[in-house]
A = this chain, B = another copy of it.
Amino acid sequence: MAMVCLSDFEAYARKYLPKIAWDFFAAGADDCSTRDENILAYKRIRFQPRMLRDVSLMDIRTKLLGTEISFPVGIAPTGFHQLAWPDGEKSTARAARALNTCYIASTYSTCTLEEISAAAPGGFRWFQLYIHRNREVSQQLVQRAEASGFQGLVLTADVPYTGKRRDDLRNAQMRFSSVLWMQGDDRSEYGLPPNSLDPSVTWRDIYWLRSLTRLPIIVKGILTKEDAELAVRHGVQGIIVSNHGGRQLDGGPATIDALVEVVEAVQGRVEVYLDGGIRKGSDILKALALGAKCVFIGRPALWGLAYKGEEGLQDVLRILQEEFRLSMALAGCASVSEIGPHLVRFSKL
């Protein structure tokens, strides 16, 4: 089977992953309408491509908070990579480093921060964290992340409680959060208790987080201009427009639709990124045209891992890289700096 595009990796993963793992990765909240909208929304955006521009030398590099990456696609935080590939997050870290891009390791990683770090020294990585009821747990994670060379903290804002994913409830034994919790002191005995996340967190906790670390703070899960404004005012360095892959509140906007109002509110004061629904190079181009500095992929990274671990994820990233470069060229852009809102239009469909 030729692996030509990301759908090929999806089909592979659906076929070869254990059902319970596929279900967990694929799950969306309730009717999965937001999960599916993340993808459908791209089809309503039309390019206005420009012709006969010199695109012989293509520069697709960009920078995340000053750090150069080879192209504007990073790895979004997703949990439990060992469900997809034995080496888990170690393979993810190596693939991201090989492609010279950013990997956001999840709190729910099945390797420790230190293992991830050791697997790919020198790689560009951020750490995704929640704020726990027991603030000490969060504080220790921040310190370990900083000590392990992670270069940014991504605070997930959209999980005061876990969304209702029907298939996970049907696959009742799916208790990853306690079974596989790997960031504690003792893996076998110190599991993460269910309901360990603190639903009372507010914007003021950003100040507390700021007091713990000198790392940049990126807030993930913003979907409105109001929250974008609050994020800027509370001093974050970046915003990830995200709906958690449609796994939290079903019925919210597709991220590419929410991106426009967030970018408009932020007015360049902080960097804005996006995750959700990226399946082709042209999706990346649309997101950048609408103001994202970079996008992150979630499920496609897992499909790559499921296919062949590090190598499979490299394949996925390389396909996106080539597709993005080609889309840019065909739209008449030779470097990411030439991408702008003039390239797209929301269709009547």
Contacts and interface: CB of A to CB of B under 8 A. Distances in A.
B202 A52 contact: yes
B55 A253 contact: no
Interface in A39-90: 42-56
Question: How many copies of this chain are found per oligomer?
Answer: 4
Interface stretch (A106-114, A140-148, A221-229): A221-229
Contact of A30 (B56, B224, B249, B280): B280
A330 B163 contact: yes
Given A47-B249, A48-B223, A326-B161, A56 B198 contact: yes
B250 A49 contact: no
A338 to B, nearest CB: 14
A347 to B, nearest CB: 8
B249 A282 contact: yes
A345 B261 CA distance: 13
Given A199-B55, A224-B50, A282 B2 contact: no
Contact of A56 (B5, B53, B163, B199): B199
A274 to B, nearest CB: 15
A4 B251 contact: no
A98 interface: no
Given A56-B200, A200-B56, A282-B249, A227 B329 contact: no
Interface in A201-260: 201-203, 205-206, 219, 221-224, 226-227, 230, 248-253, 257
Given A46-B252, A251-B45, A158 B55 contact: no
Q: Which A-B residue pairs are the 3 nearest by beta carbons? A: A56-B200, A249-B330, A51-B157
29 contacts: A2-B172, A4-B166, A30-B323, A33-B43, A46-B251, A46-B257, A47-B253, A48-B224, A48-B252, A49-B158, A49-B249, A50-B227, A51-B157, A51-B158, A51-B219, A51-B221, A51-B222, A51-B227, A54-B199, A55-B161, A55-B199, A55-B200, A161-B326, A161-B330, A164-B323, A248-B330, A249-B282, A250-B282, A251-B282
